[in-house]
Amino acid sequence: MRQGAADYPHWMQIERELRRKLQRLVNAASMDDIALVKNTSEGLSLLAYGLNWQSGDNIVSTNHEFPSNRIVWESLKDKGVELHLADLDNDDPEEAILALCDTNTRLLTVSSVQYASGLRLNLDYLGEYCRDNGIIFCVDAIQSLGVLRFDAQTCHADVVVADGHKWMLGPEGLALLYTKPELRSQLKLKQYGWHMVEHPGDFDRHDWQPTKSARRFEPGSPNMLGIHALNASLSLLEDVGMETVEARVLQRTKQLTDAVMHEGLLQLLSRSDPERMSGIVTFRRKDLDNAAHAVLYGYLMRHGVICAHRGNGIRFSPHFYTSQQSIETAVTMAAAFNSG
Ligand X SMILES: Cc1ncc(COP(=O)(O)O)c(C=O)c1O
The residues that touch ligand X, with contacts defined as CB under 6 A, are 39-41, 66, 68-69, 111, 115, 140, 142-143, 163, 175
Is 8 exposed, middle or buried (CB count within 10 Å of its CB: 0-12, 13-18, 19+)?
exposed
Nearer to ligand X, 148 or 175 (CB): 175
For residue 190, how many other CB atoms are within 10 A of its CB? 11
Nearer to ligand X, 69 or 213 (CB): 69
Tally of residues, the chain: 340
The rounded distance, in Å, linking the Cα atoms of 192 and 220 is: 8
Nearer to ligand X, 23 or 69 (CB): 69
**How far apart are CB 142 and ligand X at their closest, in Å?**
4
**How far apart are CB 60 and ligand X at their closest, in Å?**
17
Supply φ then ψ for residue 34, to 5 degrees: -105, 120
**How far apart are CB 329 and ligand X at their closest, in Å?**
25
- DSSP secondary structure code for residue 270 in this structure: S
The neighbouring-strand residues paired with 113 are 120
The rounded distance, in Å, linking the Cα atoms of 85 and 165 is: 27
**How far apart are CB 163 and ligand X at their closest, in Å?**
3
Single-letter amino acid, residue 158: D
Beta strands in the chain (DSSP E): 34-37, 58-62, 82-86, 105-111, 136-140, 159-163, 175-179, 266-268, 281-285, 308-310, 313-316
- DSSP secondary structure code for residue 11 in this structure: H
Nearer to ligand X, 253 or 259 (CB): 253
**How far apart are CB 315 and ligand X at their closest, in Å?**
10
Nearer to ligand X, 33 or 163 (CB): 163
**How far apart are CB 5 and ligand X at their closest, in Å?**
28
Q: Under 8 Å CB-to-CB from 198, ≥6 apart: which residues?
A: 208, 209, 210, 211
Could you give the count of Cα atoms lying within 13 Å of 214 in the half-sphere of its Cβ?
A: 30
Nearer to ligand X, 166 or 284 (CB): 166
**How far apart are CB 280 and ligand X at their closest, in Å?**
9
**How far apart are CB 253 and ligand X at their closest, in Å?**
16
Q: Is 140 left (phi over 0), alpha (psi -120 to 50) or beta?
A: beta
Nearer to ligand X, 131 or 276 (CB): 276
Nearer to ligand X, 197 or 253 (CB): 253
